[in-house]
Amino acid sequence: MTRRLLILGGTGEAVLLARHLTRRPDLDVISSLAGRVANPALPVGAVRVGGFGGVDGLVAYLKQRIDAVIDTTHPFAARMSFNAAEACRHVQVPLLGFVRPAWQPVPGDRWLSVADMAGAAALCQGRVFLTVGRQELAPFAGCDAWFLIRSIDPPGGALPPRHALLLARGPFETTAEIELLRANAIDLVVSKNSGGPATYAKIAAARALELPVVMVERPARPATDEARSLDEVDAWLDRPHHTP
């Protein structure tokens, strides 16, 4: 019997996962994207775009014979992850978290770890390379520093009074990132601990230039089954019985 699998996506890992799992004849794979990026990289297979309408909306969707859910959302999309955990518990649908590992500091890194964007903004001075996404820039609007802001799509809302905007989508290369930081005389890099290879080059570039990095640590996520590889995902799906 074919099972219907919902992938909560929007990440590079979700694209890889959909490509992998659509090859399985026992699965009908549906990928869900939040719709926050104008031209997202679409995964293989069926795709739905847009929010569910909170926990109640997701519960209603899961009742449309969804047999399992894999949460592959961005590590900072904590609200979606908690909504998924609550909805899956409500309808007794098994849930797996498939989240990229966080970056870890290595010798030469000069990380200043903070819990949130307000903490990051408090440390900004000089010329700052700000790469936290377009939706979390409000805490920096009152900063006196100069910012090079990079995001995929144009940000909305309040921005720092002194800034330049760079629209670009990863993956990025370390050599190019070093050149970017040098050309803009950057003193400080601000980044989420997103993990993964696509945007790690800015961290390597900061290390090479001996620049400090204000690292916003990940929010808490719900306790669920977790997988770190495609093989572990397959093993989880092949279990005879799941409990959410």
105 inside domain: no
pLDDT of amino acid 242: 46
Total structural domains in the chain? 2
Indicate if 211 and 122 belong to the same structural domain. yes
pLDDT of amino acid 244: 39
pLDDT of amino acid 243: 43
195 inside domain: yes
Q: For residue 77, what are the domain limits?
A: 3-100+220-237
Indicate if 212 and 224 belong to the same structural domain. no
243 inside domain: no
What secondary structure, in 3-state letters, does the chain show?
CCEEEEEECCCHHHHHHHHHHCCCCCEEEEEEECCCCCCCCCCCCEEEECCCCHHHHHHHHHCCCCCEEEECCCCCCHHHHHHHHHHHHHHCCCEEECCCCCCCCCCCCCEEEECCHHHHHCCCCCEEEEECCCCCCHHHCCCCCEEEEEECCCCCCCCCCCEEEEECCCCCCHHHHHHHHHHCCCCEEEEECCCCCCCCHHHHHHHHCCCCEEEECCCCCCCCEECCCHHHHHHHHCCCCCCC
Indicate if 144 and 232 belong to the same structural domain. no
pLDDT of amino acid 50: 87
106 inside domain: no
CATH code of residue 209: 3.40.50
Indicate if 48 and 130 belong to the same structural domain. no
Those residues of the chain that have pLDDT short of 50 are: 242-244
Q: What is the pTM of this model?
A: 0.82
